[in-house]
Amino acid sequence: MIFKKWRTLSGNVVRYFVNDGPGQVINGCYNAYSMIYRGQLSLGLPVSKELIVSQKEIKTRAVQKLALVLYHMFLNATGKQIARDEIKAVIYDELKKGRLRLTENVILLTEDELTYLSLKRFKIPKKHLKGVSEIGRRRRILREAVRANPVPIYFENEIEEKEQNGRGDYEIVHYRNFTDEGNAIGFRRIISMEGVTAGDDRPAVVLVPGFANSSNCFNIDNRYSMAKDIADKNVWAYLFDSRGVGVNAGRFDPLCTVDTISDYDLPTLTRFVHKRSHGKPSFLLGHSMGGLVSENMILNWSLARQLDDIDIVDQGQKEILAKSLPTTDAAEKYLKMVRCVITLASPKFFHKNSHIFFPVSLWLNHLSRVFRFQKVPIKEVSKLFTELPVLKQISRFVWQHNVGDLNFLISPENHKDDKYFVERYLKTATESIPLGLGFQCLKAIYNGKGFKRMDGSRLNYSDCLPWFPENIPVFHFWGTRDNLVPLENLRYRKFYPHKIKKIYRLNADSDLSKIDITAERSQLVDFVIEGANHLDLLYGKLADEIVTPLLLRIIDTVWGDWSYDDSGAENNAVVS
């Protein structure tokens, strides 16, 4: 007993000197900086003068492009020549009044907006309207045209066979679709080649990666692949990457935020799966921030269908939200596309003093602004610690021994047979993040009150949980050693509206027999995994013995006896 107390005391002392103490000092420095200079925290997006200039340039180019297209459209349809400067002036005016929107680097019009511009602003005779609209569709400046004809939708596939990988036969298909604002989004699908077939009744799971990760985190290699674990059970697995990340590298948007991903990017894949399969709903399975994004997307849809009844925002905030949220009818339709949500170590809020990682992140984000970066260079910093000889050895020691709880990714005892797992994971899955996303996370870390939207509504997602749809089941996984997502996050479970709420604490695989998973729609279940750190819910001993078997059981049970016959969408059902 005395030895145990001494060991605990010495561990706490070490943690204070290498983790808590330095963290408090770094936080104190940032607090002082913010008080003196007001710091980033007094700013909204864009978060720096450099990005403001960049956004103006983006807007200018988008206006120039649209003006040129409209010039030729009106000329071809009517024979009437309207000066491009006049067209640009009208577009700027409409942007200022909020009737048109710049999204990423383009301005797409709806049919109604094109009609309004043609008839009201440019005085095009009504008899020419049909011709103008047809040209607009061909030139792909109409949102309806982009959604109706999102080509190229399929452009590459890979075949992996057991003879080569030693595991199984898989087909990996690359797709590309377009968001509502016209941004191209690529994603992948992994299936067991003989496990599923077009038009079957097997589940579809969308895997959503976390903060500073690409979807490669779900497919590190043949040993560490949650995507293939799921595909092996004859389930369709889709790997999601947001703009500028993973398979979307090269289309970087410095102003991308959690809102951008929840409003546009993830809904694009969710709707794609539903449309491509002629009515099949999806499971959303997100790790870390991926779970947050998944729930936020559903919250957005749920808020959209009852926006007038929500009492935590005023009328002005509702008007701002209405510009980003779908219509009531669309929201009802979208919510039917989700069967279930499963999150792994996904935060509702952050505690900036829980680990030295958070204050270091605050400064890294701020220094990115100071040095005029368009991204927070997490991938580049990660390379320093995995490739430079001295830092590499120090990092390996931390990952393998967890001195002072500095290891915020794994518990070493869960990876005794692979001492270099973290190194391999970081090299394969780590991504730098847009400065906008970094700033949003910075604000959430600093104020400790959850994620707020970056538009004028300032809606706090964590305050909206009572409006989560109660007929979509939710399963949360937490680790007792996860300093990035502490167990205090469990306090938010009381705000969900679900009728059935359960919590299980699992110490070993033998505890799985005590868990009762049902097909009930209105259920919220939390699993607390003893000894698990942030990545231990993905891979390692605990993942192999507890988490993955439980995930597959949840998917199988909640999917139940769903079929195209029940949904009325059996005709011509195709998934490819």
User: Tell me, what's the pLDDT at 29?
Assistant: 56
Mapping DSSP onto H, E and C, the string for 36-99 reads HHCCHHHCCCCCCHHHHHHHHHHHHHHHHHHHHHHHHHHHHHHCCCCCHHHHHHHHHHHHHHCC
Average pLDDT of 310-333?
90
For the chain, give the mean pLDDT. 83
pLDDT tens digits, 509-556: 999 999 999 999 999 999 999 999 999 999 999 999 999 999 999 999
**Band (151; pLDDT cuts 50, 70, 90):** very low
pLDDT tens digits, 265-280: 999 999 999 988 889 9
pLDDT tens digits, 48-95: 444 444 567 778 878 887 888 888 888 888 888 899 889 989 999 998
Report whether 224 contacts 308 (CB < 8 A): no
Return the domain boundaries, the chain. Answer: 2-39+352-434, 49-148, 154-349+463-561
pLDDT tens digits, 459-471: 999 899 999 999 9
**Band (22; pLDDT cuts 50, 70, 90):** low
pLDDT tens digits, 163-208: 888 899 898 989 888 888 778 889 999 999 888 887 889 999 999 9
Neighbours of 66 (CB within 10 A): 21
Angstrom CA distances, 439 to 370, 382, 451, 463, stand at 13, 19, 11, 20
pLDDT above 90 covers a percentage of the chain that reads 44
Neighbours of 516 (CB within 10 A): 8
Task: Write out the CATH class of domain 154-349+463-561.
Answer: alpha beta
From CA 235, how far away is CA 237, in angstroms rounded?
Answer: 6
Angle between helices 328-335 and 266-276 (to 10 degrees): 70
pLDDT above 50 for 153: no
Residue 557, beta-bridge partner list? none
**Band (38; pLDDT cuts 50, 70, 90):** very low
From CA 304, how far away is CA 323, in angstroms rounded?
Answer: 10
User: Tell me, what's the pLDDT at 46?
Assistant: 40
